Amino acid sequence: MLSTKVLDALNKQIQMEGDSSQVYLAMASWAEVQGYEGISTFMYNQSDEERLHMLKLIKYVNQRGGQAKVSATVEPSLDLTHYKTLFKQLLEHEIKVSESINNLVGITLDERDFATHNFLQWYVAEQIEEEANARYILDKVNLIGDDKGGLYLFDNEMKNFVSPIPQDK
């Protein structure tokens, strides 16, 4: 059984994962309209992944005797003026999600909820990868600078982005 404190924190994380899906969806839509096919494909895929993270939390809460809350999502507040700005915001967002996961893990330790603590280790590892990928992509974006040929190649490569980070999943 989940304590009230852990349940509330898990439900807050469920909302964050749903909001994350919306952030990526807004980025994908903007990129698609701008003609960045690869970037939009990457962002749509990330949006789907965030939704799956949310569903995994919902199922966990419900299986542990809690009641998962599915709250309304908020329209993302993003600067959609340039693809470089998009990827800076992506990194900032992933850092924010990591902080939220870390706070949640801390609550599970305070509450001595070792089952939830163990469950959340997947999210901890996932966030390490998400932040590393965001930094990797932002480094590539910064290397491109204003080179249109480089942007074309980058956008094309983003269609089939494969994380350069070793995965232990």
The alpha-helical segments, DSSP class H, found in the chain are: 4-34, 37-63, 83-110, 114-144, 148-158
Q: How far apart are CA 62 and CA 17, in angstroms?
A: 16
Do residues 6 and 107 make contact, with C-beta atoms less than 8 angstroms apart? yes
127 is in an annotated binding site: yes
Q: Any known ligand binding at 93?
A: no
Question: Using CA atoms, how far apart are residues 155 and 8, in angstroms rounded to an integer?
Answer: 40
Nearest by Cα to 4 from 53, 55, 58, 64: 64
Task: Tell me phi and psi for residue 70, to 5 degrees.
Answer: -110, 105
Please tell me whether 53 is known to bind a ligand: yes
* Annotated binding residue 50: yes
Q: Which residues are annotated as a binding site for Fe cation?
A: 17, 50, 53, 94, 127
Q: Which residues are annotated as a binding site?
A: 17, 50, 53, 94, 127
